[in-house]
Chain A
Amino acid sequence: MPLLKKKPLDYQEALRDIAKSLVRLKRPERLLKMITRFLDKELGIEHAAILVLDPAKSRYTIFDSKGVRKLPQSLLRLDPDHPLIRWFQPSRKERNHRDKIKEMESLRGFVSRREIQSLLNKGSFLDDRPELKKELIEVERSLKNLRADIAIPGHFKEALVGILLLGEKLTHRLYTKSEIQFFQTLVHDAALAVKTSEYHQRLVERNFELETRKKELEERLREIERLRKKEQETYYQIMKSLAQQVHAKDPYTFGHIRQVERLGIMTAEEMGLDLSGKRRDVLSAGLLLHDVGKIGIPDNILKKPGALDSEEWKVMRTHVEKGAKILEPLTDFKEVAEIVLCHHEHYDGSGYPRKLKREEIPIEARIVSVVDAFHAIVSTRCYREGRPVAVAFEELRRAAGTQFDPRVVEAFIRAMKKQLKHS
């Protein structure tokens, strides 16, 4: 009777088939099951089983077992001190020792129960090696317990990844050398697949973890961005409605504040001020809202065609405090309120309401002051005709150092000139 149940097995071909499948399989469980099924089907044997290292518990358990005398699944485990495990994971010393013994060559790279039996029977070489003899007896007994005729270790970089156990052939013949070589190749590839997939699995898990964290972070950033946008929209909504109210009361400012905002930002850019993040918003708001307090100034004063008397000026001047009061309750407008309050302060301390000097006046307020003055000079106001830009520059320069911060004046004029050149 032929060795094999069906047809003589072309090992080369089988090997190629399995190697091909190996590449396809990212999950080695399927490969291992395929191997046991293949061996059980193609070779007439009692059973084929694969033991695999459970790295978490450092023990070997039966991954799969097929055949008429298959091992019950999930019943058995082999601890690291199990004779078979110790045999396949010898210390360097033990291995060197074994390698020196000529008789042991027949057991290199696998163990065969019947080979061990014959060694034990005829092995006078074991008489002086009681420890090796004891080991061999234990391995033989373990193989018997596991119903195995041969066992083939699967190593990966010195570590024992798993073991292939094969029961006796139904014919009770011995396994041939070429068969054993075939099994060794198979087990070697399987160990590789298990290890790479473990590695792969760890990578996947790690990637997944990182991916999740990244997603969470992105989600948070999106949320922050969303809130910031919403906040900004609200901010501008409020400013717009406030500014519109000023318009409604003081028609001459029509077009004024938008212009003022644009010129102010330009000046700040020319000065090289930090306009990142909230800084730009604060400056914009200060420029847009500097006159918001005029809402509280009686029309007869605000819209008076002629010059104001001193009593009227007193009232008019309160618009800076009124404006600051309007803005103060809004948390985001604290800084803006300060700008509004300071936009009539003079660089030399002669302004109002607190007679602040130089750097005591927020830079934004100093900018508002210059831009607002320029705009007033060139605009047609109800009490006088607008004057040309050159005249305005002259006036600003004359007041630089007293009313205005000279650096702001110069930056403003530079920015204006650039703009005029472009238009």
Chain B
Amino acid sequence: MKEMTRLLVVDDEPDICEFLKSFFQEREFKVETALSGEAAIAAVEKFRPHVMLLDIKMGPVDGLTVLKKIKEKHPRTKIIMVTAIETKDKIEEAIRLGADNYVTKPLSLEYLENDVREKVANLALNA
């Protein structure tokens, strides 16, 4: 049997985590969620996600910090930044720190799904 893709959703809003979790679960993903930067860093070690959806704006450990830490230790983990603030410098900073892509809220589920699948396909190619 094919290994299920593991997806970690990181957002400080439980509604959003829960929604995206059920959305991707219905699409045969194995999904975990984390409600904070700290929880995300811990979850990565345990869950070893293939792909992460990472909210930029969180406190006290924000998405950029999490991104940096995880990319240092697990550079192969694909990270898609999710951001409500469409500020250019934050996005640029994220890309500079190694983010694989970004989506802005409000987001289109269809585009997001495509994006995630694309990243999974990349992983498979490079495996």
- Using a CB–CB cutoff of 8 Å, the interface residues on chain A facing chain B are 59, 61-62, 70-79, 82, 144-145
Question: In the assembled complex, how far is the CB of residue B42 from the closest CB belonging to chain A, in whole angstroms?
Answer: 23
**Chain B residues near A82 (CB, 8 Å)?**
108, 110
- 7 example contacts (A-B, Cβ-Cβ < 8 A) are as follows A72-B18, A74-B84, A75-B15, A75-B107, A76-B106, A76-B109, A82-B108
B123 at the interface (CB under 8 A from A): no
Interface size on B, residues (CB 8 A): 15
Within 8 A of A (CB), among B23-66: 23, 26
- Which residues of chain B are within 8 angstroms of A61 by Cβ–Cβ distance? 106
A75:B106 contact, CB within 8 angstroms = yes
Say yes or no: A145 contacts B108, CB within 8 Å.
no
Q: Kindly state the separation between the CA atoms of A72 and B21 in the bound complex, as whole angstroms.
A: 12
Interface mask (B93-111 → A, CB under 8 Å = 1, otherwise 0): 0000000000001111110
The residues of A that contact B15 with a CB separation of less than 8 Å are: 70, 72-73, 75
With both chains docked as a complex, state the minimum distance between the C-beta of A52 and any C-beta of chain B, in angstroms: 12
**In the complex, A62→B95 CA distance in Å?**
29
Given the complex of chains A and B, what is the CA–CA distance between A77 and B107 in angstroms? 5
By a CB distance below 8 angstroms, the chain A residues around B107 are 75-77
Instruction: Return the chain A residue nearest B13 by Cβ.
Output: A72
Q: Is the CB of A77 within 8 A of B108?
A: yes
1/0 per position for B61-80, CB-CB distance to A under 8 A? Answer: 00000000000000000000
Those of B87-127 within 8 Å (CB) of chain A:
105-110
CA–CA, A79 and B84, complex, Å: 17
Tell which of B18, B20, B26, B106 touches A74, judged by Cβ atoms closer than 8 Å: B106
Could you tell me if A77 and B106 are in contact, using CB atoms closer than 8 angstroms?
Answer: yes
Say whether B105 contacts A74, CB under 8 Å: yes
Contact yes or no, A78 B13, CB < 8 A: no
CA distance A74 to B15 in the complex (A): 11
Residue of A72, A73, A74 with most partner-chain B CB within 10 A: A72
CA distance A71 to B106 in the complex (A): 12
Q: How far is the CA of A375 from the CA of B108 in the complex (A)?
A: 94
B23 touches A145 (CB 8 A): yes
A82 to B16, CA, bound (A): 20
* Docked pose: A144 CA to B20 CA in angstroms: 13
Q: How far is the CA of A317 from the CA of B84 in the complex (A)?
A: 88
Rank and list the top 6 A-B pairs by shortest CB-CB distance, nearest first.
Answer: A77-B106, A72-B15, A72-B16, A72-B19, A61-B106, A75-B16
With beta carbons under 8 angstroms apart, the residue of A70, A71, A74, A78 that contacts B108 is A78
Residue of B nearest to A144 (CB): B26
Specify which chain B residues have a CB less than 8 angstroms from the CB of A145 in the assembled complex.
23, 109
Complex Cα distance A74/B106, Å? 5
Residue of B nearest to A138 (CB): B110
Cβ contacts under 8 Å, B108 to chain A: 76-79, 82
Contacts of B19 in A (CB 8 A): 71-72, 75
Bound CA–CA A78/B107 (angstroms): 8
What residues of A have a CB within 8 angstroms of the CB of B106 in the complex? 59, 61-62, 74-77
Known: A59-B106, A62-B106, A72-B15. 8 other contacts (CB 8 A): A72-B19, A74-B106, A75-B106, A76-B108, A77-B107, A78-B108, A145-B23, A145-B109
CA separation between A76 and B108, bound complex, in Å?
A: 6
Q: A209 → chain B, closest Cβ, in Å?
A: 27
Q: Which chain A residue has the least Cβ–Cβ distance from B113?
A: A145
Q: For A73, what are the chain B residues with a Cβ–Cβ distance below 8 Å?
A: 15
Closest-CB distance, B10 to chain A (whole angstroms): 14
